[in-house]
Structure 1
Amino acid sequence: MMQASALLHLLQFASPALPIGAYSYSQGLEAALEAGEVRDADTARAWIARHLREVMAPWEAPVNWRLMRAFTRRDAAAVAEWSERFLASRDTAEFRAETVQMGFSLSRLVSELGIADADITAMLPPEAELALPVAYACAVAALDIPHQEALLAMLFAWAENQVLVCVKSVPLGQVAGQRMLLSLRPEIEAAALVAQAIADEDMSNWSPGLSLLSMRHEIQYSRLYRS
């Protein structure tokens, strides 16, 4: 059973209120709205579910899983390897800027709160190359949060942010947004299971359509979000 202290730590670090700027990014969703690919509750849910299956499950969640294990084992070489691979997978300027900005903000928060010892923080890459999954894994290790729960929380926080973008920009009602988030539970659980079981050689960040939308967003005339 998860300890109460670990659960409270997890709730804090997976909260949308965490001051790292997650609310200011849509991860390509705003460009999909502009293109008409997302236009109502059904297409919004389909977009988020597909992103969970095709992007989060085979790449971002497994990278998070491997980084959490590496930090817990104090395996600096593995942290550096997966950090480098994740940054290399950010194939647009906006996606790279997003993960580095939030990674820096979260690592600064971890430092200011004084929750990580010197052995853990020594494994962090330079600020200019510090991706969000690396900083999150560092916090998970520092607070001794169980990896399975931390992975689910990461996926839920990502889905919640996507739903909030839809609530504000489709727009959807608040109840419709909560209904959508509740309906995404099977996809979130499935992504977490894939992340824990997938072999390194089967991982993939192949999502050219998302990359194209991100590049279009960089020159989109009117926008609310930074990605």
Structure 2
Amino acid sequence: MMQATLLLRLLQLASPSLPVGAYTYSQGLEAAIEAGAVHDESSARAWITEALGVVADFEAPVLWRLLKGFAARDRAAVTYWTECFVAARDTAEFRAETIQMGYSLSKLMGELKVADDALLKIMASQPEIPLPTAFAFAAEALDVSHEAALLGLLFSMVENQMLVCVKSIPLGQVSGQRLLLSLHPAIEAAARHAQVLEDDELSNWAPGLSLLSMQHEVQYSRIYRS
């Protein structure tokens, strides 16, 4: 029964219905679609796979460290990795995205009253709360295992990218679900990779993505906020 309870908590945390505004962001994908780089199921799979690789090299291992920090109630570690992540957002859109979603998730968790005082004090000490910090905080408050939380965040990111493709290329619903299913092995590989990287191996180097994000900031017609 306990395993079922924790699974349900993970499903709720990774659900697209979580009111943090994820559906309003494309993480640069809308600009790639506008440029014609993503135009069908095959190119969508290639884009999401590459994007997942970037996340596996930086955002996911930062989340892994934040999960460890919250579990140990180590405010210094949480603050360090939070600041590192915010500093690594290299466009205005990407920075605004993670701060808005992090704020929304942390506020939600506070209103649900599931976190202990030590966790709340750590969160209160952060001047800015990006999404990985809020997600790690929520996972610890809900007693979701670190491995499950990492998979949950990666899956929710990939699912959101798939939904952007369904709505904006557009892809059919069956194509979208086929795409999502085909990416399960890549999500698992990304989670494994994130857990073994040393601190000096972390990198968010993705100049093409950064340029697309900058272009999206001045794109004439757009649906998404990033």
- Are 1:154 and 2:153 an aligned pair? yes
Question: Would you say the 8 A contact 2:20–2:105 is kept in 1?
Answer: yes
Q: Secondary structure at the match of 1:3?
A: helix
Percent identity over the alignment is 62
Within 5 A, what are the aligned runs for 1:1-227? Answer: 3-53=3-53, 55-124=54-123, 129-227=128-226
Question: Would you say the 8 A contact 1:80–1:125 is kept in 2?
Answer: no
Question: Would you say the 8 A contact 1:104–1:127 is kept in 2?
Answer: no
1:10-36 CA-to-partner distances (Å, cap 9, x unmatched) read 110110000000000000000001111
When normalised by structure 1's length, the TM-score is 0.97
Aligned length in residues: 226
Aligned-partner residue type, residue 33 of structure 1: I
Question: Would you say the 8 A contact 2:90–2:210 is kept in 1?
Answer: yes
Cα distance, 1:217 vs. partner? 0.3
Whole-Å Cα distance in 1 between the matches of residues 114 and 20 of structure 2? 17
Residues 1:195 and 1:125: Cα distance change in structure 2 (over 3 Å): farther
Cα distance, 1:117 vs. partner? 1.3
1:102-159 CA-to-partner distances (Å, cap 9, x unmatched) read 0000000000000111100111156761101001100111111111011111100000
When normalised by structure 2's length, the TM-score is 0.97
* Cα-Cα RMSD: 1.3
Aligned-partner residue type, residue 7 of structure 1: L
Q: Secondary structure at the match of 1:4?
A: helix
Question: Would you say the 8 A contact 2:105–2:131 is kept in 1?
Answer: yes
Question: Would you say the 8 A contact 1:2–1:146 is kept in 2?
Answer: no
Residues 1:78 and 1:185: Cα distance change in structure 2 (over 3 Å): same
1:50-75 CA-to-partner distances (Å, cap 9, x unmatched) read 1112x111101101111011101101
Aligned-partner residue type, residue 142 of structure 2: L
Off by >3 Å, runs of 4+ in structure 1: 125-128
Cα distance, 1:38 vs. partner? 0.5
Aligned-partner residue type, residue 186 of structure 2: E
Whole-Å Cα distance in 2 between the matches of residues 162 and 103 of structure 1? 18
Whole-Å Cα distance in 2 between the matches of residues 122 and 79 of structure 1? 12
Whole-Å Cα distance in 2 between the matches of residues 203 and 2 of structure 1? 35
Question: Would you say the 8 A contact 2:49–2:186 is kept in 1?
Answer: yes
Q: Secondary structure at the match of 1:129?
A: coil
Question: Would you say the 8 A contact 1:167–1:177 is kept in 2?
Answer: yes
Aligned-partner residue type, residue 79 of structure 2: A
Residues 1:71 and 1:48: Cα distance change in structure 2 (over 3 Å): same
Where do 5+ consecutive residues of structure 1 fail to align? Answer: none
Whole-Å Cα distance in 2 between the matches of residues 2 and 43 of structure 1? 41
